[in-house]
């Protein structure tokens, strides 16, 4: 495998699972982050929600894990940025990047439409869920300016301010890489091509992934950007091993989403089977263009799955 096609692997830290399970010991999060770094994983990621899907706060968790690690990158998959004020969020993420030596990736999503619990998150903060995507676009523009410039003034549809300078600036030149989430939705793919440093998705078929990636590259070119500057990612949920692991994975996801497993697997990429079967599926996405793969383990034995994952990947020359 050439360096150009080399996959980078990240894992999702179970910030919601610890709430569902009633765990009060942060050791499970710390151990997983520490062990991921020891095993050579590229990154650790966290999800985001305030009340719709109660979980540990995303940036707080990354700060805690970042203080214990030295190399592994720290990402959000995905962060509901529109729920935050852009000046405050730019300051928080710049500080996090500064404290962790420039290791932060900000993956931004928008929540699912027509979900009452997720719409309530916007309403309780005095925001309109209907405008969340346009708000997110403007927020990205504002944050990038605040990370790169001093004495910033802005007059937009959602945010207005004058003469703001934030310090410290992020360690990473130009600010944090911003990954934008989109499945097979034309405006979303166009947004990634126009604005994204990376692309996050959980597209369920490799052939469809390839089609979407080709569209993103074309949109980037139309916008005068270098398509090669966009990192193609993939987010998948994995339950691998024997029959017991597969049964637990299905049960885990049904409880997590309060929906039958079949409905979950239809809506997002869930990969089950032996580790060789899981790796074969990941390889199909690599052939379709994916380069950074974020894996969520559908199990309560997160460390056990992590160890088995690293061992299986090493046997196949992927890790």
Pairing of strands 152-155, 160-164: antiparallel
Q: What is the mean pLDDT of the chain?
A: 95
What average pLDDT does the segment 204-227 reach? 98
pLDDT at 266 over 70: yes
Domains and CATH numbers, the chain: 3-232 (3.20.20.30)
Contact of 248 with 299, CB cutoff 8 Å: yes
Contact of 51 with 121, CB cutoff 8 Å: yes
What average pLDDT does the segment 221-232 reach? 98
Comparison of pLDDT for 28 and 165, the residue scoring more: 165
> Per-residue confidence at 2, pLDDT binned at 50, 70, 90?
low
Which of 177-191, 204-218, 254-268 bottoms out in mean pLDDT, i.e. has the lowest? 254-268
CA distance 146 to 11: 30
What average pLDDT does the segment 140-160 reach? 98
Which of 185-189, 192-196, 297-301 bottoms out in mean pLDDT, i.e. has the lowest? 297-301
Sign of the alpha-carbon torsion through 39, 201, 178, 287: positive
Measure CA of the first residue to CA of the last residue in the chain; give whole Å. 11
CA distance 272 to 265: 10
Residue 262, token pair as written in the block: 């079949």
Q: What is the per-residue pLDDT for 114?
A: 83
User: Largest Cα–Cα distance of the chain, in whole Å?
Assistant: 60
CA distance 298 to 251: 9
Q: What is the per-residue pLDDT for 208?
A: 98
CA distance 262 to 255: 12
Condensed to tens digits (0 to 9), the pLDDT of residues 31-52 reads 999 999 999 999 999 999 999 9
Q: What is the per-residue pLDDT for 4?
A: 56
Q: What is the per-residue pLDDT for 256?
A: 86
What average pLDDT does the segment 100-125 reach? 94
Q: What separation in angstroms does the CA of 76 have from each of 9, 66, 86, 140?
A: 14, 13, 16, 15
Q: What is the per-residue pLDDT for 1?
A: 54
Global pTM reads 0.96
Condensed to tens digits (0 to 9), the pLDDT of residues 49-99 reads 999 999 999 999 999 999 999 999 999 999 999 999 999 999 999 999 999
CA distance 25 to 23: 6
């Amino acid at each position: 495998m050439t360096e150009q096609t080399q996959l980078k692997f990240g894992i999702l830290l179970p910030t919601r699972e610890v709430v569902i399970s009633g765990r009060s010991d942060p050791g499970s999060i710390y151990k997983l982050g520490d062990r991921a770094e020891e095993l050579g994983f590229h990154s650790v990621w966290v999800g985001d929600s305030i009340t719709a899907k109660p979980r540990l706060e995303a940036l707080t968790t990354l700060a805690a894990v970042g203080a214990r690690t030295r190399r592994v990158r720290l990402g959000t998959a995905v962060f509901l940025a529109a729920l935050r004020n852009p000046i405050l969020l730019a300051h928080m993420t710049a500080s996090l990047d500064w404290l962790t030596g420039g290791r932060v990736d900000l993956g931004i999503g928008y929540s699912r439409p027509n979900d009452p619990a997720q719409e309530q998150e916007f309403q309780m903060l005095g925001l309109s869920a209907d405008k969340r995507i346009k708000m997110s676009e403007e927020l990205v523009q504002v944050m990038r300016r605040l990370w790169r410039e001093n004495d910033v003034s802005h007059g937009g549809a959602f945010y207005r301010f004058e003469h703001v300078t934030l310090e410290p600036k992020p360690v990473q030149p130009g600010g944090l890489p911003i990954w934008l989430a989109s499945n097979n939705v034309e405006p979303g793919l166009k947004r990634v091509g126009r604005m994204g440093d990376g692309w996050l998705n959980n597209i369920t078929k490799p052939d469809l992934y390839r089609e979407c990636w080709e569209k993103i590259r074309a949109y980037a070119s139309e916008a005068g950007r270098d398509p090669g500057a966009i990192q193609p990612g993939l987010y998948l949920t994995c339950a691998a091993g024997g029959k017991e692991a597969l049964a637990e994975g299905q049960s885990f996801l049904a409880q997590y989403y309060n929906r039958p497993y079949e409905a979950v697997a239809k809506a997002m990429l869930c990969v089950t089977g032996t580790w060789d079967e899981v790796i074969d599926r990941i390889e199909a996405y690599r052939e379709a263009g994916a380069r950074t793969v974020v894996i969520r383990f559908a199990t309560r034995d997160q460390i056990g799955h992590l160890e088995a994952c690293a061992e299986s990947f090493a046997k196949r020359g992927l890790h």
